[in-house]
Amino acid sequence: MKFIVKYSEKHDLDNYLNRIWKNTWVDYGNDNKEYFYRFAEKDFIDQLLATKDKKEAKNVVKEYWKKTLPPSFEGDNEFLIKWFSRILNEESERIVWRLEKVYGDKVPFKEITVYITTCFFNPYNYEERYFMVSRNSNLFGILNTTRHELNHFMFYYYYSDYMKKRGVSFENTEYLKEALAILTSGKKSENEGRSNQIIEIEKFIKNNRNKGVKEIIDQVIEKNFFETKDK
């Protein structure tokens, strides 16, 4: 699997708009001002959240960039693109091996795009086969984000239709997807600070990580960690 690392101002800007200005993702329990304050200036967060117009919201982010990004930003990005690309492609075989060991299936993706972001969230787009990683990430952060997001991709590829057949809602499918990321993580938890539901699912997965992914999924559904349409 090959990693193509890039910087895109559009994708970077959209990250702020989608994640902070208008949260378009499933609420995992950490979508509030206090959580955002941990990563960016309070005045900036408050101003962005108070903005009603998309064009104005973009301008708020761009003004924040002017205030906070160094003059060497573009040159730094060129360096980071080379550095991130080298790390990920040198570790590609190990990343693939770990994913395949967990899922018991081949990694079907030949090429993945990685966008560097100035934001403090690392979103992904499964359909377009890309995810984002913070430009401030250290080596561990880069690798863990990569395993985390590709774990999601594997789940979508192999189990998206299966979850629909089992009658699991979109939101609960997302909770399970996030909890399964612990299977390829180097951290004690991938969901610290999130809702109790997702924490309980993650704990169950950690205690049953010797089982196959499908067996874990079936047990999560059967043990009533969330509601299904047929209940």
pLDDT tens-digit readout, 181-200 = 999 987 888 887 777 888 89
Predicted confidence band at 72 (pLDDT cuts at 50, 70, 90)?
Answer: very high
Instruction: Please give the Cα distance from 131 to 154 (Å, whole number).
Output: 13
Whether the predicted pLDDT of 226 surpasses 90: no
Pick from 226, 225, 231, 230: nearest CA to 207: 225
Within 10 angstroms of residue 179's Cβ, the number of other Cβ atoms is 26
CA 85 – CA 178 distance, rounded (Å) = 25
pLDDT (tens digit per residue) in 109-156: 999 999 999 998 899 999 999 999 999 999 999 999 999 999 999 999
Question: How open is the CA angle 174-124-208, to the nearest 5 degrees?
Answer: 40
Burial class (CB in 10 A: 0-12, 13-18, 19+), 129: middle
At which of 110, 137, 164 does a domain end? 137
Name the pLDDT band for 25 (thresholds 50, 70, 90). low
Query: Is the confidence at residue 230, as pLDDT, over 50?
Result: no
Q: Where in the sequence is the domain holding 215, given as residue range(s)?
A: 148-222
pTM score, two decimals? 0.91
Boundary-marking domain end, from 99, 118, 137: 137
Ramachandran angles phi, psi of 151, nearest 5°: -60, -45
| Same domain, residue pair 18 and 110 | yes
Alpha carbon distance 140, 37 (integer Å): 24
Q: Which pLDDT tens digit goes with each residue over 86-103?
A: 999 999 999 999 999 999
Contact 18, 113 (CB under 8 A): no
Which of these three, 79, 106, 137, is where a domain ends? Answer: 137
Q: What is the pLDDT of residue 12?
A: 97
Domain count, the chain: 2
Same domain, 88 and 43: yes
Residue 25 · residue 175 · CB < 8 Å: no
Answer yes or no: are the C-beta atoms of 180 and 154 closer than 8 Å. Answer: no
